[in-house]
């Protein structure tokens, strides 16, 4: 299997809960990633935004940039022009960095604005679904013209998180322009089966996040109506092998299908409680135990 292994900087520096890992520097994060043997990572708020400076910094540690998250609000037609321009600018930056993938997620009606909802995300209307799909297709077409792929990230506490919503997204968008990011942890967070999602949408999957879920924390969050950010702070996510997901059949399926491309290890937990270097080491050991894959 021609797998390229990366690890997310969010294991060290959280992008949603800014207090988590804020004491880390870009140099500290990259030096630890490199020492662990990873070759790629996603953009981090601690990294320089200048293309030349970022290339130099990553190159110092033998690393490359694989992608960066982009929130979009294509479901709101009044924002389409501004949102599309912001997306193109974002894609242009990633292209300049040599990235092949643009991670996108519709966050209208969702967790970005804490005043818009409590726990339950306001579902999209049929018209909003139509506008979102049109926007994603247009954005994906721009990516393809520039030699990249838009990979949609279904995500907890957004309008596309549950199995039926993932199915509708797949049905509503053009597979030529909108691919999927397969995330094991968010599959479980949204009430789905990660193995079933992998098998069902494999032909749309071009990029992978591997994270695990602590079932007790997830159950506590659901029972008590806890929002996504608080669940993250309490440790709902962890590295593969430290939670409730059995990755053996997932790796077997990837091997059977001959997956080639990036797999990014994620944890998204408090680094002061769960040391990122130590947990990444645990993930590597677990992957070695349950598969023939080596990092």
User: Across all residues in the chain, what is the average pLDDT?
Assistant: 95
Length of the chain as a residue count? 295
The pLDDT value given to residue 84: 98
Is the per-residue pLDDT at 117 higher than 60? Answer: no
Rounded to 10 degrees, the C-alpha dihedral 217/43/140/138 comes to: 100
Residue (of 9, 52, 10, 56) closest to 30 by Cα position: 9
- How many C-beta neighbours within 10 Å does residue 225 have? 9
Helices (H), the chain: 26-36, 51-60, 80-96, 126-145, 163-172, 184-189, 194-201, 215-224, 228-233, 248-257, 276-290
pTM across the whole model: 0.96
Please report which helix (H) or strand (E) contains residue 103, including its range. strand 101-106
Is the per-residue pLDDT at 119 higher than 80? Answer: no
Parallel/antiparallel/unpaired status of strands 212-213 and 237-238: antiparallel
Domain 1-66+215-244+260-295 and domain 68-210, same fold? Reply is: yes
The pLDDT value given to residue 47: 98
The pair phi, psi for residue 180, each rounded to 5°, is -120, 145
pLDDT in tens, 167-220: 999 999 999 999 999 999 999 999 999 999 999 999 999 999 999 999 999 999
The pLDDT value given to residue 110: 74
Side-chain-facing half-sphere of 42: CA atoms under 13 Å: 24
Is the per-residue pLDDT at 65 higher than 90? Answer: yes
CB 9 within 8 A of CB 43: yes
The pLDDT value given to residue 48: 98
The pair phi, psi for residue 149, each rounded to 5°, is -125, 135
113 vs 21, residue with greater confidence: 21
112 vs 170, residue with greater confidence: 170
244 vs 291, residue with greater confidence: 244
Q: Residue 183: helix, strand or coil by DSSP?
A: strand
The fold of 68-210 is TIM Barrel (3.20.20)
Parallel/antiparallel/unpaired status of strands 212-213 and 205-210: unpaired
Largest Cα–Cα distance of the chain, in whole Å?
A: 51
Average pLDDT over residues 36-65: 98
Residue listed under structure tokens 């079933």: 196
* CATH placement of domain 1-66+215-244+260-295: 3.20.20.150
Question: What's the pLDDT band for 116 if we cut at 50, 70, 90?
Answer: low
In whole angstroms, give the CA distance from residue 205 to residue 181.
Answer: 6
Is the per-residue pLDDT at 118 higher than 60? Answer: no
Question: What's the pLDDT band for 157 if we cut at 50, 70, 90?
Answer: very high
The pLDDT value given to residue 114: 58
Is the per-residue pLDDT at 248 higher than 70? Answer: yes
Q: Give per-residue burial for 138-147: e unless 16+ CB within 10 Å, then b.
A: bbbebbeeee
CB 95 within 8 A of CB 155: no
Q: Where are the domains of the chain?
A: 1-66+215-244+260-295, 68-210
């Amino acid at each position: 299997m021609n797998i390229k292994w990366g690890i997310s900087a969010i294991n060290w520096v959280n992008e949603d809960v800014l207090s988590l890992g804020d004491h880390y520097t870009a140099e500290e994060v990259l030096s630890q990633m490199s020492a662990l043997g990873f070759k790629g990572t996603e953009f981090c708020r601690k990294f320089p935004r200048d293309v030349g400076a970022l290339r130099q910094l990553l190159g110092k540690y033998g690393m490359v940039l694989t992608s960066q998250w982009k929130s979009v609000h294509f479901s709101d037609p009044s924002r389409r022009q501004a949102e599309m321009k912001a997306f193109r600018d974002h894609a242009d930056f990633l292209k300049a960095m040599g990235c092949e993938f643009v991670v996108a997620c519709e966050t209208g009606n969702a967790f970005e604005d804490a005043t818009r909802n409590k726990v339950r995300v306001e579902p999209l209307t049929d018209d909003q679904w139509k506008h979102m799909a049109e926007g994603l297709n247009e954005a994906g077409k721009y990516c393809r013209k520039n030699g990249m792929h838009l990979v949609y990230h279904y995500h907890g506490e957004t309008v596309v998180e549950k199995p039926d919503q993932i199915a509708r997204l797949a049905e509503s968008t053009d597979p030529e322009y909108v691919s999927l990011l397969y995330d094991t942890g968010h599959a479980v967070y949204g009430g789905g089966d990660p193995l079933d999602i992998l098998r069902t949408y494999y032909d749309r999957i071009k990029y992978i996040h591997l994270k695990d879920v602590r079932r007790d924390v997830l159950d506590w969050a659901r029972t008590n109506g806890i929002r996504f950010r608080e669940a993250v702070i309490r440790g709902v996510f962890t590295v593969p092998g430290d939670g409730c997901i059995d990755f053996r059949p997932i790796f077997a399926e990837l091997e059977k299908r001959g997956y080639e491309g990036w797999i990014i290890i994620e944890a998204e937990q408090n680094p002061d409680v769960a040391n990122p270097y130590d947990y990444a080491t645990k993930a590597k050991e677990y992957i070695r135990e349950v598969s023939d894959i080596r990092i």
